Amino acid sequence: MHIDHKIETIKPIPKSHWDNLELGYYAEEDMEYLCDDLLGVTPQECNAYQSACTELYKMYEQAAQYVIDNNLWRDLGIPSNAIEIIKYSWNQRHRLQHLYGRFDIAGVIDGKQAKLIEFNADTATVMPETAVIQKEMLAQSHIKTSSQFNNLFDGLTDKFKQILNANPNKEASILLSDLGHIEDELNLDIIDEAAEEAGFLVEIASLSDVHFSKEEGICLQVGEDEFMQFDFWFKLVPWEWIAYEEPELLDILTEIVKKEMCVILNPAYTLIFQSKAIMKILWDLFPNHPLLLRTTNSKSSMLGKPFVEKVIFGREGENISCYNEQGRVLYKNGGDFGNYPNIYQEYYELPQDEDGDYYQAGMYFTYKPIALSYRRRDGLVTDTDSEFIGHFIQV
């Protein structure tokens, strides 16, 4: 079923409007990223997304425990130097809580069963678009509703409060860090506002400016010989990158966490969730579950039905190949993550309009589903060339 009846064209919003909101980066003409449409979602469909993600998160927790109990680190591509900090953070997750992630979901709006595409559990982005831009799109439209399922900011704020309450002996000071990319900085702005609303004193610094010490913890230089120590650190830096590319830093962070000098968000155990190889574990534990797609680590075992090849720590749609039932390549995307192992997932067509564009839902999750948004692509894989499309609740 095509979904054209759900799409409403809105008046283009001038770049100056986004500039005034300090979000002009997303409206650059050469990006063609913000589309002039909104996607209608019924309350029932919205509930279906929420129910699916709530159930999936519980399944992920069970799968993580299974990985730990059975030492399946190699199956998930997790290096040995990360095991200790992962185990510790998992055992202490009443304090070292998962701040947020984003489930990518197929189905629902086309009348089909919701299916998990993957879970961006550690460093999910698209937050400014979800929290701010799609609200502005709806506010500037002619559509006679102001309703979205969009509680991203409030959900993050509530979760920060929970984390703070779970760590009563910690000062409410948090350092936010990224690798210095403009998109990451704009995503950190959302985290910044939510943390401040929750009662944190917030500082932001690039990873290269942060001081890490097994004795002093995580600090930022604020004077010639003066350093500020933080009891909380949020990193928009992937755990797998730290484990593989910065092993000395991982060693220091392991000691910092074990000595309880700092609470790191997202915690290290989210690396288990982040590895796409856990989707094979999910399939093994919950075979034929309606929310899951068959996933294996054997290409030959997938022949007979269309399937997708993914690297276990790929990002932004890179290093993905799509095959038909005979194993012939239909689509192949290069990228920077080809050194990681592959998994093979049953192909499941995303909702599609009559122009052939595909729509992928993203549901943000803290301790519950908190916000929905979509990306649109004229090809089989949702990647950096995708458009962002907001939604509204059809009543």
Cβ 172 vs Cβ 200: under 8 Å = yes
Q: What is the DSSP letter of 325?
A: T
Same structural domain for residues 249 and 373?
yes
Confidence of residue 9 (pLDDT cuts 50, 70, 90): very high
Nearest CA to 131 out of 315, 373, 322 is that of 373
Q: Work out the angle at residue 189's Cα, subtended by the Cα atoms of residues 173 and 100, and round it to the nearest 5 degrees.
A: 75
Give the separation between CA 250 and CA 233, rounded to whole angstroms: 14
Closest CA to 361 of 377, 345, 378: 377
Q: What is the pLDDT of residues 233-273, one digit of tens each?
A: 999 999 999 999 999 999 999 999 999 999 999 999 999 99
Task: Classify residue 284: in a domain, yes or no.
Answer: no
For residue 67, pLDDT over 80 is answered with: yes
Same domain, 362 and 234: yes
The reply to whether 209 and 304 lie within a common domain is no
Examine the domain organization and report whether 339 and 377 are in the same domain.
Answer: no
Chain-centroid distance of CA 181 in Å reads 17
Please report the pLDDT score of residue 317 as a whole number: 82
Asked whether the predicted pLDDT for residue 188 surpasses 90, the reply is yes
289 occurs within a structural domain: no
Give the tokens for residue 267: 């915690």
Q: What sections of the chain are H helices per DSSP?
A: 15-20, 43-69, 83-91, 127-128, 134-139, 152-165, 182-197, 239-245, 247-258, 270-274, 278-285
**37-43 mean pLDDT:** 97
pLDDT above 80 (res 143): yes
d(C-alpha 133, C-alpha 390), whole Å: 8
Does 287 map to a domain?
A: no
Q: What is the overall mean pLDDT for the chain?
A: 95
SS (H, E, C) 140-154: CCCCCCCCCCECHHH
Confidence of residue 380 (pLDDT cuts 50, 70, 90): confident
pLDDT at 69: 98
Identify the domain containing residue 298 by its residue range: 294-346
Which pLDDT value is given to residue 362?
98
pLDDT per position as a tens digit, 283-310: 999 999 999 999 999 999 999 999 999 9
pLDDT at 30 over 90: no
Would residue 281 count as lying in a domain?
no
336 and 357 share a domain?
A: no
229 and 268 in a common domain: yes
Q: Kindly state whether residues 105 and 152 are assigned to the same domain.
A: yes
Let me know whether 132 and 268 are in one domain. Answer: yes
Task: Decide if 303 is inside a domain.
Answer: yes
Handedness of CA 191, 119, 122, 367 (dihedral sign): positive
Judge if 308 and 217 occupy the same domain.
Answer: no
pTM assigned to the model:
0.96
Q: 224 and 356 share a domain? A: yes
Per-residue pLDDT reduced to its tens digit, 341-354: 999 999 999 999 99
**Is residue 214 assigned to a domain?**
yes
Domain count within the chain: 2
Q: Are residues 144 and 34 in the same domain?
A: yes
Last residue of one domain, picked from the residues 346, 362, 383: 346
Is 288 part of any domain? no
User: Does residue 286 belong to any structural domain of this protein?
Assistant: no
Q: Is 191 in the same domain as 44?
A: yes
